[in-house]
């Protein structure tokens, strides 16, 4: 199964000139979703991963399923004010403006080996924010992984100091 065929493309969303890659059609296709998680686990084989760090909301979908598959912990990174304990915050630029993310200060022990995971690599801003947050906890970044990479936006270049994996490239 070609996973890209399970993803719907929507022109001019969320604004004119953007071709949005809608993963909901992959998620509701049990064979495609299973293949995506199995393929991600396969491409990351050999990386020592103790925790998956993923941002809300679509990152949670893949992060939770992949953490279960490879038997590691899952660490949610959320928008400000959504985590109940003490947090670190990082503000960053993304395709459509600025955003902030937070991580619990006790999300994992110092020197833990983590995978940064999200559904989409565009400019790399969200992944860099998660790297910065994990760095506040003195994590060792094992790898960074995405379901989709939009190659024309060159986000991989911003992540060049880390092993970067993506299943589908547009």
Catalytic sites, residue numbers: 58, 95
Cα separation of 83 and 73, whole Å? 17
Q: What is the DSSP letter of 84?
A: S
| Strand runs labelled E in 44-86 | 51-55, 73-77
CA neighbor of 99 nearest in space, from 133, 147, 67:
133
Q: At a CB cut-off of 8 Å and minimum separation 6, what does 127 contact?
A: 116, 118, 121, 144, 146, 155, 158, 159
Q: How many helices and strands in the chain, by DSSP H and E? A: 5, 9
Is residue 94 a contact partner of residue 123, using CB atoms and an 8 Å limit? yes
Query: What tokens appear for 36 in the block?
Result: 């995506």
């Amino acid at each position: 199964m070609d996973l890209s065929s399970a993803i719907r493309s929507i022109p001019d969303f969320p604004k004119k000139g953007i071709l949005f890659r809608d993963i909901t059609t992959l998620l509701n296709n049990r064979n495609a979703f299973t293949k995506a998680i199995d393929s991600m686990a396969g491409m990351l084989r050999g990386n020592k991963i103790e925790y998956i760090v993923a941002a809300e909301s679509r990152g949670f979908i893949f992060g939770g399923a992949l953490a279960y598959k490879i038997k590691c912990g899952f660490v949610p990174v959320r928008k400000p004010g959504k985590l109940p304990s003490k947090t670190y915050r990082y503000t960053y630029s993304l395709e459509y403006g600025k955003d902030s993310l937070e991580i619990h200060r006790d999300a994992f022990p110092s020197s833990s080996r983590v995978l940064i995971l999200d559904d989409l690599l565009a400019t790399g801003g969200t992944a860099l924010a998660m790297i910065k947050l994990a760095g506040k906890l003195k994590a060792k970044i094992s790898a960074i992984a995405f379901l989709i990479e939009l190659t024309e936006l060159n986000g991989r270049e911003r992540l060049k100091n880390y092993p970067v994996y993506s299943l589908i490239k547009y």
